Amino acid sequence: MTPPEEPRLTYNSSKNIGFISTRFSGTDGVTLESAKWAQVLWDDKNISYWYAGKLDRHPSISMCVPEAFFGHPQNQWINERIWGTTYRSRAVTDRIRVMADYLKSTLYDFVEKFSIDIIVPQNALTIPMHLPLGIAITEFLNETHMPTIAHHHDFYWERTRFSVNCVRDYLDMAFPCTGKNVRHVVINQSAEEQLALRKGDGSLLIPNVFDFDNPPLEVDEYAADVREEIGLAPDDLCILQPTRIVPRKGIENAIKLVGMLNDPRCKLVISHDAGDEGFEYKNMLLELAKEEGVEIMFIADRVSEVRQRNKDGKKMYTLWDLYPHADLVTYPSIYEGFGNALLEAFYFKVPIVVNRYSIFIEDIEPKGFRVPVMDGFVTNSLLNQVRRLLSEPDYRAEMVDHNYAIARKFYSYSALRRSLRTLITGLTGLSSD
């Protein structure tokens, strides 16, 4: 495809939107939020197409480029040689360039194949898990002036594992890139401030959202047996930890909480598995649970992105199938870019215990939510609030109804729709109505 000399704009009411990332598959935050954006854009007749290295979208609306996945062997080879060191060999630079050039050519193919009007890099210009892809997108944008909404979830400067590196030149160039054709979207106030400070660029704050205008449906026949299928007894209390098993999730505090409740009915149910950052943390949690006398139930083998049967013929449930069966959600994260599980708990009207991570303190707590909180450790006051939530239905109902109403005001699809219309109008000069 020959790079166009001028910005490519189409003057019709609907737009073809090209989402770009390393992965659109599973239940990670980027994948989930991208799907919500696509749904809201579809309501305004905009059609979404998908580019990634790992995809669960239909082939008719997507392009899978395996080399774009952060777990691809070529990218892993690069990552092993650029993080934790300040020296970069010529061989590493050459490999980065070769891969970036190839990925850039596939971006041209993607835009041409689906007649893309606006591209939406989802975290691909934000966290450098795939450095060559970020470079490829940046060069593509500089060459084409394609209207772009860069959606940022986790900047590299927010993660210590990227602080020592030998690719500062590429980070400064591409994470994120800047340009008159690029509009930046961040998910919290701290990111908005840091982007302006570091890059001199403004951004629009669009938090993560949920469809609070449409309450969840009643539990259907498929999901009615969740508790029994995952091994809970009828009188057990399901304390749900709906996250991956990685250190920043602070799951040790969930174990401490359940242990200090001193109620054998309380079972800590963890929905996702370890692996993204190794298994040492999971092993530590198992030791701690043994010391605290807490029964942990790991159910990742029964949780899937979609309802299906596993190889043994057992039902696989979605994360959303679990929430209605939970008596309490624990969310003791040390750091979150925003916090999808928080909105999910509000949406399904399940009480949630939150560690006061920085974004919660700055962006979410001031909205007026009523949630039991901890500041890095479990207190007697917190235990009393949790016991009351587990034993007093009226108190529980009052709290979750209040939180739903607040969330609907600030984190609904309606708020997202207004922001996306503003962005598209600013990029193209046309309303998406």
CB 189 within 8 A of CB 205: yes
What is the Rg, in whole angstroms, of the alpha carbon atoms belonging to the chain? 22
Instruction: Tell me the CA distances in angstroms from 238 to 233, 235, 322, one per residue in order.
Output: 10, 9, 10
pLDDT in tens, 164-223: 999 999 999 999 999 999 999 999 999 999 999 999 999 999 999 999 999 999 999 999
Q: Domains (ranges, CATH) in the chain?
A: 16-209+413-428 (3.40.50.2000), 226-410 (3.40.50.2000)
Integer Cα distance of 138 and 298 in angstroms: 41
Integer Cα distance of 142 and 136 in angstroms: 10
Closest by CA position to 350, among listed 373, 319, 323, 331:
323
pTM here is 0.84
Residue 249 scores a pLDDT above 90: yes
Integer Cα distance of 357 and 338 in angstroms: 9
pLDDT in tens, 277-300: 668 899 999 999 999 999 999 999
pLDDT in tens, 131-174: 999 999 999 999 999 999 999 999 999 888 899 999 999 999 99
